[in-house]
Chain A
Amino acid sequence: MCMVKKCYISHLLENHKEHFTIFKKGKLWITTKEKLKNGEDKTIFDEILQNTKPILNKIQEGIFICCSDVVIKFNKEIDFKEKDRVYVFSNLVDKEFGTRHGAFKISSNNKVTKVFQKESLYTLEKNGFIKNGKINIDTGMMLIPNNIIKKLKNIRIKNKKIGIYEDLTPIFCNKNILNVITLKKATFTHYGSSKEILNIKCDKNNNYFENCEYNFPKIPKNVMAFNTNIDRKIPDNVIIYTAKLKQDKFITIIVGIDDNIKAKGKEIKLFNKSLIENLEVKINSNLSLWKLKIYKPAKTKKEALENALELYYLTKFNQKIDSENRLSIEEILKKEK
């Protein structure tokens, strides 16, 4: 084993399908509003490194695990008083959030006594996770000191699959070595969904354009656009992404800002409209918006945007969408140059 002095791990929870716009680079390199000293855009990676600086001298040698889409502004007040313990970082939020995150039950001396993953409100209430309508949720950050890492080495990997939160956190909790630090408000930024990214990066019209030219008098609202030259009216509340394909063709993906790319079967919605009646292909229970062949390639960027807007209006007005020569988001990202 390489003797870890201070190791920072940035990791992804899953293939971030909801973030197809950054599929080529990964969440860690999403640019923020800030600039680096040399004028380049700061990324989440830069923010994380900069924001962990106040605690670097305080932590024991070991591993610091962190999600690639979470930035926490650590302040100097944070202290790791007890040595040889695993530390997790928590946010105190309204109880409803507990159903969508890992949640901690905490004792009066800041020890984690129970961990649940995305449980129902009923289960969380019944097990005493909720106090005064609030719940401690997991930020995904964890500090594991070296002496505990040495013990981890002996863990046998069944089927070579171990989840950090599903498997390791309960082990630390059961061994009674899990401490929690509850963060103050406004120190936690989550770049989890497209809407969250838009809220963080938007301009005064609540839009975000990257590598785009915009030449149209009417400004939309709640739009994220990438690699697209916009010279016509585009609807509000959409994400537009133009990809250059390997055969020198272009294709524009358009989805609603609230669409769930991972929803399957009957749950699939585009621009908040069900597609079941409109498509020639049958939607089975395994099919998601990620795999649905609905986008048409074109010879130019301009034509690609026209095709995307045609799809928008066909869907909006419940018209039939043919299945000829169309690609899915998954195929487009694979074929993108």
Chain B
Amino acid sequence: MQKNIYGKMENNWDIIIITVNNYKQKEFAKKEILKRKKLKYICKDTKVIIRVVKKGFETGSALINLLKK
């Protein structure tokens, strides 16, 4: 089983959702996540979703829309 610095694989989050304010931040976040996956700081099986939300109140709506998928 693959291990990373945070511990065993089963200790990791199955999904990580990150909300950002703009597309520049989305690109930056993608690179940072990729770096951490390569370094095995995040499990390769952890699904990472990066979502652009313009305002804070859109976060709850984005969350509920994601749950409906």
Interface residues of A (CB under 8 A from B): 1-2, 4-16, 23-26, 28-29, 36-38, 43, 45-46, 49-50, 53, 56-57, 63-65, 68, 149, 152-153, 155, 157, 160-164, 166-168
Cβ–Cβ < 8 Å partners of A9 in chain B = 16-19, 63
Q: Which of B1-31 contact A (CB under 8 A)?
A: 5-7, 11-22, 24-25, 28-29
Q: Is the interface of B mostly helix, strand, loop or mixed?
A: mixed
Q: How far is the CA of A151 from the CA of B44 in the complex (A)?
A: 30
Cβ–Cβ < 8 Å partners of B36 in chain A = 46
**Does B25 lie within 8 Å of A24, measured CB to CB?**
yes
**Does B59 lie within 8 Å of A10, measured CB to CB?**
no
Cβ–Cβ < 8 Å partners of B20 in chain A = 12, 26, 28
**Does A14 lie within 8 Å of B5, measured CB to CB?**
no
Q: Kindly list the 3 A-B residue pairs having the minimum CB-CB distance in the complex, ordered from nearest.
A: A162-B60, A5-B14, A13-B56
**Does A164 lie within 8 Å of B63, measured CB to CB?**
yes
Count class of interface residues, chain B: 35 or more
**Does A8 lie within 8 Å of B67, measured CB to CB?**
no
**Does B55 lie within 8 Å of A14, measured CB to CB?**
yes
Q: How far is the CA of A141 from the CA of B42 in the complex (A)?
A: 21
- Contact residue among A8, A13, A14, A57 (Cβ-Cβ distance under 8 Å from B11): A57
**Does A38 lie within 8 Å of B18, measured CB to CB?**
no
Cβ–Cβ < 8 Å partners of A168 in chain B = 60
Interface centre among B12, B19, B69, by most A CB within 10 Å? B19
Contacts known (A25-B25, A149-B67); A12 close to B6, Cβ less than 8 A: no
**Does A160 lie within 8 Å of B29, measured CB to CB?**
no
**Does B56 lie within 8 Å of A14, measured CB to CB?**
yes
**Does A56 lie within 8 Å of B11, measured CB to CB?**
yes
